[in-house]
Structure 1
Amino acid sequence: MQSSHIKKLSLVAMLSVAFSPFTHSADIARELRSNADNNSVPENFFEIGVNAELEVGSSFTDDDGKGSDLGISFSGSYNWNDFFIDVGMETSEPLVIGYNAYKSDNWSFDLILGVTEGGLSKDTDDRFIGIIKRQSSTMLGGRLTGYFGKNILQVSIKHDVRGRSKGTVASALLGRNWQVNDWNFQSLAGLTVADAKFNDYYLGVSNEESNQTNFAAYDGKVSVHFNSSVGVTYPISESWEFRAAAHVGSDFGYNDSPLFSEKRDFYTGISSSITYEF
Structure 2
Amino acid sequence: MLPILNKARSLTFILLVTCLWSNASVASNRYYADNTLIPTNGFAWDWSAGTGYYIEDSFLVGMDSYSDGLELDLNLAISYERFYLDIDHSQLSGGFIIGYSLIERFDWELDILGTNVQAGFDETGLDFYNNSKIDELAGILSRKYDFNTGLRLTRSFENSQISVEYLHDISGAYNSWVINTFFSHILPWKNWEFRSGVGFSAYSDDFTNYYFGISPEEASPARPIYETGTSGSVIFEFHAEYPLNRHWVFLTGVLSTWFTNEIVDSPIVSQGYQHKAMVGVRYVF
Query: What band does the TM-score fall into relative to the shorter chain?
Result: 0.7 to 0.9
- Once residues 98 and 36 of structure 2 are traced to their aligned partners in structure 1, the CA distance between those partners, rounded to angstroms, is 23
Q: Secondary structure at the match of 1:221?
A: coil
1:85-100 alignment, distance < 5 Å = 85-89=85-89, 90=91, 94-100=95-101
Change (3 A) 1:216 1:37: closer
Match of 1:72 in 2: 72
What is the alpha-carbon distance in structure 2 between the residues aligned to residue 3 and residue 51 of structure 1? Answer: 16
Measured in 2, the distance between the counterparts of 1:200 and 1:74 equals 32
Corresponding position of 1:270: 277
Partner Cα separation in structure 1 for residue 53 and residue 230 of structure 2? 32
Choose which of 197, 214, 219 in structure 2 pairs with 1:205: 214
Residue aligning to 1:192: 201
Give 1:110's aligned residue. Answer: 111
Q: How does 1:129-168 map to 2 (within 5 A)?
A: 129-168=138-177
Deviation digits for residues 78-114 of structure 1 (CA, Å, limit 9, x no counterpart):
1001101122444768532211111124011110122
CA distance in 1, matches of 2:254, 2:186: 15
> 1:3 and 1:157 mapped to 2: Cα distance?
21
User: Contact 2:62–2:134 (CA<8 Å) still a contact in 1?
Assistant: no
Do 1:156 and 1:170's aligned partners in 2 also have CA atoms closer than 8 Å? Answer: yes
Deviation (angstroms), 1:136: 1.9
Q: State the distance in 2 between where 1:155 and 1:126 align.
A: 37
Q: Which amino acid aligns with 1:26?
A: S
Q: Which amino acid aligns with 1:51?
A: G
- CA spacing shift, 1:114–1:57, aligned 2, 3 Å: closer
Q: CA deviation at 1:45?
A: 1.6
| CA distance, structure 2, for counterparts of residue 28 and residue 94 of structure 1 | 10
Deviation of the 1:38 alpha carbon: 11
| Partner Cα separation in structure 1 for residue 242 and residue 255 of structure 2 | 18
> Which residue of the partner structure matches residue 28 of structure 2?
26
Offset of 1:115 from its aligned partner?
Answer: 4.3
Give 2:258's aligned residue: 250
For residues 132-188 of structure 1, give each alpha carbon's deviation from its aligned partner in whole angstroms, at most 9, with x where no partner exists: 211122201011110123221011010112332012110110011111111111110
Cross-structure match for 1:217: 225
Identity %: 19
Letter in 2 for 1:222: T
Structure 1 unmatched runs, 5+: 6-24
Q: Is the 8 A contact 2:6 2:95 kept in 1?
A: no
Q: Which residue of 1 aligns with 2:124?
A: 123
Q: Which residue among 226, 240, 245 is the counterpart of 2:248?
A: 240
Distance 2:78 2:36 in 1: 19
SS of 1:207's partner is coil
Q: Which amino acid is the alignment partner of residue 85 of structure 2?
A: I
Q: Is structure 2 residue 79 aligned with structure 1 residue 83?
A: no
TM-score w.r.t. length of structure 1: 0.79
The correspondence of residues 173-184 of structure 1 with structure 2, limited to 5 A, is: 173-184=182-193
Which residue, out of 149, 163, 179, partners 1:170?
Answer: 179
Report the CA distance shift for 1:66/1:151 in structure 2 as closer, same or farther (over 3 A).
same
C-alpha change, 1:100 and 1:222, in structure 2 (3 Å) is same
The unaligned stretches of length 5 or more in structure 2 are 9-26, 126-132
Amino acid at match of 2:134: D
Per-residue CA deviation, residues 244-272 of structure 1 (Å, 9 max, x unaligned), is: 12233312232221112x32x34434221
Q: Is the 8 A contact 2:40 2:80 kept in 1?
A: no
Q: Which amino acid aligns with 1:73?
A: D
Higher relative contact order, structure no. (Cα contacts within 8 Å, ≥ 6 residues apart): 1
- With over 3 angstroms needed to count, the CA separation of the structure-2 counterparts of 1:190 and 1:106, relative to structure 1, is same
Aligned length: 253
1:102 maps to a residue whose letter is I
